[in-house]
Amino acid sequence: MQLEKKSLKRSGVGAVVVAAFLFLGSCASGGGAVSNAPDWVLQRPQADREYRYFVGAGEAAGGSLVQAQQAATNAMISDIIRYIGVDVTTNSTATARSDLESFEAELVEQVQQQGEAVVSGFEIIDSFVMERDGAVTVYLLGRYEKGALDEEQRRFRALFQERIDAVDVPAEQGRRLYDAGEYARALPFLLEAAAAAGVSDIDNAEIRFDENITLARQLIESIVFEPVTSQINASLNQAVGQSFGAMVYAQHRGQQIPISGLPVRVSYREARGNGGRMTVRTSTVYTDDQGVALFDHPVPNFVGSSQVSMTLDISASVEPLLDLPRRYQAQVEALEDAAVDTACTMQLVVASAAAQAPTAVLIMEMDADGNPLPSQATGDAFRAALLAQGFFLETLDIPAYMLSELSDQEFLELMRIDYGDSFDRVIFARVSVQEVNDRSGVIVGVGGTFQAVDLQNRRVLYSISPSIRGRGRNLQSAMQAAFRSLGTSAAEQFLNNLP
């Protein structure tokens, strides 16, 4: 049958406007080859030095040219995607899927319209339409520049591999370092792989999470922190002359393998301000080439015993795991517990150098009018607290009320003359009732000034003016409670600050 050359108009959504022309052909019904079709319909052209060729064929049994054209377009695009070599699965990232869908849409647009190319390097160069037995078949021939096509292939393969690599690359790196005994470097990679698997939709994501976090936990459980020293003695407000240290190693197949470069969290305590409450501070150090973690404690500002602990610090690596779905949290908590269990503790014992200096204490209590009281609740509580910390104290054989009759200078001169050979220092105070409130029980407020003075040069070593309240069933009991609390509170500040 003679071939007739025609052009096609757009017909509905998805109609194909062929870039060059369409050959309309028909032949007698039968199953043989189409003798009047172009060679490329029977056999796709081989790639040459510049192009790769793709053929799409689509048939519509009802004779709809639009449907056949759409089917041919889809077939050609599928052929191109197969060549690129990517497949949308649960492993695919949303970005990869979106980019692939956009690329396919651009290919469709390229097939459907004439004029400027939408996809660089791709074009439709021929087409053929065959009608037979009421059915219509459309064939499309496209060519793609090799350089442009290969670039798309590299781009999409990288995109589709990204989500898998987010898990597999750190997992493989962590396993390699673990097998090489580089445990400090292996641990962050294993936890990175677990975190990536925990938010991934790749195949076997939960299994991959379990494998990596289990190996990380087993690694942590093999780590031992062994203190180098159990106790260090120091002096108040003086540099600690020795570093705290722990030997860190992994127990593996009966061997103790030192771990270098491991982050170690150090927890220690210090006082807030002058004699304030104790608070916990933390610092991070790293093990050296021999697996030893060393920590130089800040100058202590308190008196007494305090713990210094060292433990594995996985805070940076474990943070991404904390936001994972609930089904993973039991394993994350087990990992954190294993890290906490590595802890070792040492003691810092801080003494005040002031404790060794012979010291006299004289404290006078007064009522609200400034009259001396016979009670010694403040002085007794103050002395008891200092004696408990090893202070060398002596009670003066002069009455406390003398402080009401002498100025500071007169009192210190008296002390220097009469007691200069017996004591190096004197701590004295005048405290009084400052407030009485009996609206709900009896509440008494007391306060005063405490001073520690070097008798030889009259230099004031430390001075405070605290105040405090006490409650009691009557005025007397409330005063006693307030004065005792005042003495104890003042002593704590002296212990933590007196040089």
Cβ 248 vs Cβ 233: under 8 Å: no
What is the C-alpha to C-alpha distance for residues 82 and 19, in angstroms, rounded to an integer? 23
Are the C-beta atoms of 463 and 453 separated by less than 8 Å?
A: no
Instruction: Determine the Cα–Cα distance for residues 360 and 147; give it in Å rounded to an integer.
Output: 95
Query: Distance (Å, rounded) from C-alpha 272 to C-alpha 336?
Result: 29
Q: What percent of the chain has pLDDT over 90?
A: 61
The secondary structure of 277-330 as a DSSP string is -EEEEEEEEE--TTSEEEE-PPPP-S-EEEEEEEEE--HHHHGGGGGS-GGGHH
Tokens 């906490």 correspond to what residue? Answer: 340
- Which two structure tokens, joined as six digits, stand for 470? 């006490």
pLDDT at 274: 53
At 348, the pLDDT band (50, 70, 90 cuts) reads: very high
Q: Is-above-0.75 flag for pTM? A: no
- Residue-wise pLDDT tens digits, 373-394: 999 999 999 999 999 988 989 7
Angle between the 183-198 and 205-221 helix axes, to the nearest 10 degrees? 150
Average pLDDT over residues 127-131: 92
CB 378 within 8 A of CB 430: no
For residue 409, the 8-state DSSP code is H
pLDDT band at 162 (very low <50, low <70, confident <90, very high): low
In sequence order, what E strands does 183-274 have?
A: 223-227, 231-235, 244-252, 255-258, 263-271
Residue 84 above 50 pLDDT? Answer: yes
Backbone angles phi, psi at 451, to 5 degrees: -135, 140
Candidate from 9-13, 36-40, 59-63, 434-438 with smallest mean pLDDT: 9-13
Distance between CA 425 and CA 221 in Å, rounded?
Answer: 55
What percentage of the chain carries pLDDT values higher than 70?
Answer: 88
Average pLDDT over residues 31-49: 80
Residue 63 reports pLDDT greater than 90: no
336, 305 Cβ separation under 8 angstroms: no
Q: What angle (nearest 5°) sits at the alpha carbon of residue 493, between those of residues 489 and 495?
A: 115
Residue-level pLDDT at 145: 93
In this predicted structure, which of 165-169, 182-186, 200-204 has the lowest mean pLDDT? 200-204
